[in-house]
Amino acid sequence: MNASVGLVITEYADFDVELRLESGRLLGPLTLAYESYGELNQERSNVILVAHAWTGDAHAAGVHSEEDRKPGWWDNMIGPGKIFDTDRFFVLCSNVIGSCKGSTGPNSINPRTGRPYRLNFPVLMVRDMVRAQKLLIDRLGITSLLAVVGGSMGAMQALEWGIHYPELVRSIVPIAGTGRTSPMSIALNALARQAIFNDPLWKKGNYRPEHPPADGFALARAVGHISFLSDASMQLKFGRRFSVRDGMFDFFGKFEIERYLDYNGGNFVGRFDTNAFLYLAKALDLYDVAWNFDSLSEALDRLNCPSLWFAFSSDWLYPAEQTEEVIDELQRLNKPVDYRLIQSDYGHDSFLVEPEKFIPILQEFLDRQAKAQNLPAGKTGALSRQ
Q: What residues are annotated to the active site?
A: 152, 315, 348
> Pairing relation of β-strands 26-27 and 19-20?
antiparallel
Question: What b-and-e string marks burial along 359-370, b requiring 16 or more CB atoms within 10 Å of the CB?
Answer: beebbebbbebb
Distance of CA 339 to the CA centre of its chain: 20
33 phi/psi in degrees, rounded to 5: -85, 140
Distance CA 136, CA 12 (A): 10
E strands of the chain, at which residues? 11-15, 19-20, 26-27, 30-37, 47-51, 78-79, 84-85, 90-94, 109-110, 115-116, 147-151, 172-175, 307-312, 337-342
- Which DSSP letter does residue 200 get? T
C-beta atoms surrounding 292 within 10 Å: 10
Burial class (CB in 10 A: 0-12, 13-18, 19+), 377: exposed
C-beta atoms surrounding 371 within 10 Å: 11
12: three-class secondary structure by DSSP:
strand
Residue length, the chain?
386
Cα pseudo-dihedral 84, 53, 175, 326, rounded to 10: -140
Give the residue from 136, 60, 52 showing the smallest Cα distance to 91.
60
* C-alpha neighbours within 13 Å on the C-beta side of residue 225: 18
